[in-house]
Structure 1
Amino acid sequence: MSKTVLNVTGLSCPLPVLHAQKAMKGLPPGAVVEIQATDPAVVQDIDAYCRSSGSALISQREEGGVFTVEIRKGG
């Protein structure tokens, strides 16, 4: 299955999560979305989104001020 990459660098909370929600809406269960953000709150915000939506946070990392979070859509 392919991965959707969502670049939301430069945006602040809650915009990264709102963009992620919109991207996930049209995808089938099991789809993976990689979110690239510069707002450090994105990790906590995406974790909370996953818990409320049934999706799964599968990885997170930070490199050079860019936070990369991968989530898998639940179904």
Structure 2
Amino acid sequence: MHPPSTSASSTDLWTPEQAALNLGVSIRTLAAWRSTGRHALPYVKMGRLVRYRPQDIAAWLQALLQAKPTAPAATGDEP
């Protein structure tokens, strides 16, 4: 998986192929996500064309981040 470029302007749009490559998924997976609504990955629809904004993908990935559970603090009371 490639992280989205942070230098992308607000007018940059990725094709499904570019988005799939950067997310490490197939184009068919993106199409399935769009049709089923399984993941709320934002996209732009212009007629029959589908495009993705890199900043939307970055924000979507950020929202998916899970915090690692922290280990309980050692109290020294255990053997």
Query: Which has more radius of gyration?
Result: 2
Q: TM-score, normalised by structure 1?
A: 0.28
Structure with the largest fraction of strand: 1
Name the structure with the higher helix share: 2
